[in-house]
Structure 1
Amino acid sequence: MNNEFGVKLKNLREKHFPGHSMRKVADLVAPQIQSGDYFFTQLNKMESGVLIPSANLLLKILDAYSADAEERKEVLIAYATAAALKKVDEVGQASKQNIHREVVESLHRKLKKKN
């Protein structure tokens, strides 16, 4: 899995909060972005490439990190790519499920005809 988005987000966090752990940054940022108690978990999943946040949440994070225009652009391009790849994967999975279902239904119809 390509995790360019997570890497860029992590690099941005480390640049704007040098020496702070992810948990410390999450504790500092959570009130600014009006996030709940689980922001550390969300941030960890975002940086690991497991979670693609909503665009609204990402913009709040970029504001809290005081990202400049170039940093925002880089992160947003990586975000858009990750979101698009996730959609492609979802469509691919749905297609596989539909094909599987169609094959099963076709076999079921053939078996019914034989009986």
Structure 2
Amino acid sequence: INTYKERKNVDKYASVVSYEDFVENDFNLNIPRYVDTFEPEPVISIGQNVKELAELDKEEQRLFSELSLSVNALVATQSLQDAQELDKLKAYLNAKAKRKQVQAQQELL
């Protein structure tokens, strides 16, 4: 409100524009025409992203191993029906791990 009341020019926020400027711009009230809000995109470090992806892959493998161990432990203590359901889960997890390996190999090519 103070910017408006005091008719201030504030970089990337507000601009005091004369009537002549409006006329020159065909009375266009589009804010970006008068206030530059452009911010450059941050530089992306490809090396850093690759490193983070590798760390995430390691973490995913660690969690997958923990989950597999937990499922195996549960299979030993459950009823036959529960064991069959856990076997389905193990099969799903193994299939997912194989798909992940194939995907990683394809990405290397």
TM-score of the pair, normalised by structure 2: 0.35
By relative contact order (CA 8 Å, sep 6+), the higher-ranking structure is 1
TM-score of the pair, normalised by structure 1: 0.33
Q: State which structure, 1 or 2, has the greater radius of gyration over its C-alpha atoms.
A: 2
